[in-house]
Structure 1
Amino acid sequence: MPMKASVVLKTLQDAFPEGQVSLQPLATDGDHYACTVISERFRGVPRVRQHQMVYDAFGGRIGTELHALAVKTAVPDATPDAS
């Protein structure tokens, strides 16, 4: 069963409570989302590791309950990356 947007958003907000999180659907199937996470925890962390930190919040549910998640990350006062 696809993961509801509200669950995706809460998972990210719980993982990054100090951060700003936004979520947009990429399709109407409830299985494809794009998120932006802005967090001070990303400062000095390579972009690949930042994205891993976001994916880690889902504890292996990406690819099963959540089919696809496009991720953009940034530190406060910076432009989110384009990946």
Structure 2
Amino acid sequence: MTKDEIRQLIQAGLPQAQVTVHGDDGQHFEADVVCADFAGKPMLAQHRMVYATLGERMGRDIHALQLKTRAV
């Protein structure tokens, strides 16, 4: 899994999101996700929304994903 693939998956699931993903070892990544859909939601709910876009890839193809989320 590459950082570009992760970015594309998140953007497909959250089309209005601005997504930046870092990580070059193929397993550990950092994502910064800014999305209007996060407005009024607690951080845990925001993170769950992002994890839902990645599905079963979390823990299988993606060993670790550090998230920074915020509303626009």
- TM-score (ref. length: structure 2): 0.92
Runs of 4+ aligned residues of structure 1 deviating over 4 Å after TM superposition are: none
Match of 2:27 in 1: 31
The whole-number CA distance in structure 1 between the counterparts of 2:67 and 2:52 is: 12
2:17 aligned with 1:19, yes or no?
A: yes
Aligned residues: 72
Which structure has the higher relative contact order (CA within 8 Å, separation 6+)? 2
Any idea what SS the aligned residue of 1:60 has?
helix
Mapping of 1:37-52 within 5 angstroms? Answer: 37-52=33-48
Q: Post-superposition shift, 1:29?
A: 2.1
Which structure shows the higher helix fraction? 2
CA shift for structure 1 position 63: 0.6
C-alpha root-mean-square deviation of aligned residues, in Å? 1.0
The structure having more radius of gyration, on CA atoms, is 1
| 1:9-28 Cα deviation digits (max 9, x unpaired) | 11011112111110111xx4
Structure 1 gaps of 5+ residues are 77-83
Asked if 1:57 is matched to 2:20, the reply is no
Q: Normalised by the size of structure 1, how large is the TM-score?
A: 0.80
